[in-house]
Structure 1
Amino acid sequence: MSLTVFPVPGDGAEDVLVAELGEYAGFAYTGTDDGSLLRVSPDGRQIQRIGHTGGRPLGLEWLPDGRMLVCDARRGLLAVHPDTGDLEPLVTEVDGRPMRFCNNAAVVGDGTIYFSDSSATYGIDEWKRDFVEDTRTGRLLRRDATGQVSVLLEGLAFANGVALGPGEDYVAVAETAARTVVRLWLTGARAGERDHLAKDLPGYPDNIARGSDGLIWVSLASPTDPVVERIQRGPLPLRRLVTRIPERLQPKPKRTVRVHAYDDAGTLVHDLDVSTPDFHMVTGVREHRGRVWMGSLHEPAVAVLDL
């Protein structure tokens, strides 16, 4: 498998979204750590800045009205017009308290938004502390078509990627620190039940997304780290102590390029594991008509793999 890397003018192209229709069909969109939103042509030769959030954009999705939904870690849930850059805040606080770490989302046809708040304790600049301390203060939330916000799940171990079932009968959310993808059933006889789409993953899941192939694609930002696993099981004072030692001595994500794809029975359909020195820490994944686009929290680039 050969990975093609497209450099972009900004570090940390964390997620990736692909346009389905119109003049820019097949173009990929991403956001970087300086707040920029970028549009990248399918061959990587054209890159255009289409907007700026004033924060740190992470997960991206399309809204029914054609605007782009942006999960901004610092500003909350935003709607951005991809042609004008006009921005509208949709959710900045929940129950009267500002969101700490808006991360990823999935959108229903009627405009309902399911989205994650990774931590109620730490923001994005201290994501490692939340991960190592395993605060389990992540949440899955819903904003309905009227704008009403409700909390669906609490106590998640670093709530991250969000995706919907094929008939919008369930919503899945990645628990990065627990190496699972939790599923909450929304309709039918199992409505309200919680189970796992995937668990005991061989790495730490980040963003997830339903592809054009109907599968749920899961990015694995780093392989499982036995040291981190032991620390997470230790007493809280030890976990806190580890996050206070010098950065150079703290556990670090291992270099890897790996994504999984699961069907709705939780069966692993694809395990793409690419060895390359040119890209690492895949935090966003989007399958679109046989091409798998990837984003990274650290790389100044997006990458694409042809299936």
Structure 2
Amino acid sequence: MTPPRRLLSPRRWTPPPAPARQGRTPTTSRFAVTRRIATGGHGPEDVVFDRHGHLLTGLADGTILRIDPATGTRTVVGNTAGRPLGLQPSADDAVLVCDHDRGLLRMSADGSLEVLLDTVAGRPLTFASNVVEGPDGTIWFTVSTRRWNLEHYLGDVIEHSCTGLLARRDPDGAVTVLREGLKFANGLALAPDASHLLVAETTGYRISRYWLTGPKAGTAEPFVDNLAGLPDNISLGSDRLVWVSIAAPRNTLLDRLLPLPGLLRVLLWNMPEAVRPKPTPVAWVMAFDLDGRLVHDLRADDASYGFVTSVAEHDGTVVAGSLHEDDLVVLAEPTGRG
């Protein structure tokens, strides 16, 4: 049974003015779907490529799928008995899974499941969001919120709880919280040289660079700030671009309410669901180079696909997934580098 909605405890924040569109470039173009890849289920929230060029995705019923992007052939890897969100393929063909209900998991190629972590900082690990793995087996993962569940994630968006985490699990199993107080921590990518992580904060409208090595190790700095939309999962493509899914544009009403006394947001949250703010139906992905410069900005407002929560690129093939859709989609290959 789904827990009841929590009482809202709003935090005030003054967001920067939203840009009309994130830096139009010569490569700004449509989110053009060339074909759909059926999952046979619902809600492929994250999509990643494995080392064989196959797709991995997790569905609402707990199924982890491996899909041949050329033929659409689906193979069931296993089932988490929870709600898989972010995925990361390992070199041994296992899959690391951030499962909303069960924590951080490792699913072997034969479908057997190991719970790596189900608590963090003394509390149950729920809403684990995204995960990456280093060459030595170190695992980094995000937790979106410590207060809300997936069904009521809009409560966190409106409350602005700032309870997200970035954490590390060492090969010996030791766990360290690296950053807390994050604004709905979400997508995660490891730099090609493993010198830093890129961390998306959905309700902070930003992606930060968290240094792992060098004189700045243990500190964070902006990578892309003041985005025009809400960044979700991110991934590093074979093109060495950072691909960012934008789940929705920023909401003008919410941006106006965030700096004001929280009672206004409490009233908004307690209105009938039909009149509360909803994500604008849009399909939107962006790509940045490793210096944070915008390279691709792909968007469609025709409701043919929506609420894009993941995007991955491999050898020119760009695939997107959505929490609310049944299919993955292959996009027309963008041209140019901005």
Is the 1:132–1:239 contact (alpha carbons within 8 Å) kept by the matching residues of 2?
A: yes
SS in structure 2 of the partner of residue 125 of structure 1:
coil
Question: Which of the residues 40, 49, 55 maps onto 1:28?
Answer: 55
SS in structure 2 of the partner of residue 131 of structure 1:
helix
* Deviation of the 1:231 alpha carbon: 2.7
Mapped pair 1:146 → 2:166: no
Task: Give 1:38's aligned residue.
Answer: 65
Q: How does the TM-score come out when normalised to structure 1?
A: 0.94
Relative contact order (alpha carbons < 8 A, sep ≥ 6): 1 or 2 greater?
A: 2
SS in structure 1 of the partner of residue 85 of structure 2:
strand
**CA deviation string 1:107-144 (max 9, x = no partner):** 11111111100011112122110111100000101111
Question: Which of the residues 66, 76, 92 maps onto 1:49?
Answer: 76
* Deviation of the 1:276 alpha carbon: 4.2
SS in structure 1 of the partner of residue 226 of structure 2:
coil
Question: Which of the residues 250, 271, 285 maps onto 2:311?
Answer: 285
Quote the sequence identity (%): 42
Is the 1:64–1:110 contact (alpha carbons within 8 Å) kept by the matching residues of 2?
A: no
**CA deviation string 1:42-101 (max 9, x = no partner):** 13532232211111101011123321011101111100123x211101111013210121
Q: How does the TM-score come out when normalised to structure 2?
A: 0.86
In 2: Cα distance, 1:137 partner to 1:267 partner: 29
Structure 1 spans left out of the alignment, 5+ residues: none
Task: Give 1:59's aligned residue.
Answer: 86
Q: 1:254 to 1:148 in 2, by over 3 A?
A: same
In 2: Cα distance, 1:164 partner to 1:45 partner: 28
In 1: Cα distance, 2:194 partner to 2:227 partner: 24
**CA deviation string 1:285-305 (max 9, x = no partner):** 111111111110100111111
Task: Give 1:14's aligned residue.
Answer: 45
Question: Which of the residues 214, 218, 221 maps onto 1:192?
Answer: 218
- The 5 A counterparts of 1:207-226 are 207-226=233-252
Structure 2 spans left out of the alignment, 5+ residues: 1-29, 334-338
Task: Give 1:297's aligned residue.
Answer: 323
Mapped pair 1:5 → 2:56: no
In 1: Cα distance, 2:72 partner to 2:287 partner: 28
Moved over 6 A (4+): none
In 2: Cα distance, 1:204 partner to 1:135 partner: 16
- The 5 A counterparts of 1:94-243 are 94-243=120-269
* Deviation of the 1:32 alpha carbon: 1.1
In 2: Cα distance, 1:182 partner to 1:299 partner: 28
Question: Which of the residues 251, 255, 258 maps onto 2:284?
Answer: 258
In 2: Cα distance, 1:251 partner to 1:275 partner: 18
* Deviation of the 1:228 alpha carbon: 1.9
Amino acid at match of 1:241: L
More displaced 10-residue stretch of structure 1: 166-175 or 268-277: 268-277
Mapped pair 1:86 → 2:140: no
**CA deviation string 1:131-173 (max 9, x = no partner):** 1110000010111111111101111110000111221111111
In 2: Cα distance, 1:121 partner to 1:65 partner: 35
**CA deviation string 1:241-287 (max 9, x = no partner):** 32222211111111111111112211111112234432111101111
In 1: Cα distance, 2:77 partner to 2:264 partner: 44
Select the structure of larger CA radius of gyration: 2
Question: Which of the residues 93, 101, 108 maps onto 1:74?
Answer: 101
In 1: Cα distance, 2:257 partner to 2:41 partner: 33
In 1: Cα distance, 2:71 partner to 2:266 partner: 42
Q: 1:91 to 1:98 in 2, by over 3 A?
A: same
Is the 1:15–1:283 contact (alpha carbons within 8 Å) kept by the matching residues of 2?
A: yes
Is the 1:64–1:111 contact (alpha carbons within 8 Å) kept by the matching residues of 2?
A: no
Q: 1:136 to 1:279 in 2, by over 3 A?
A: same
In 1: Cα distance, 2:189 partner to 2:72 partner: 30
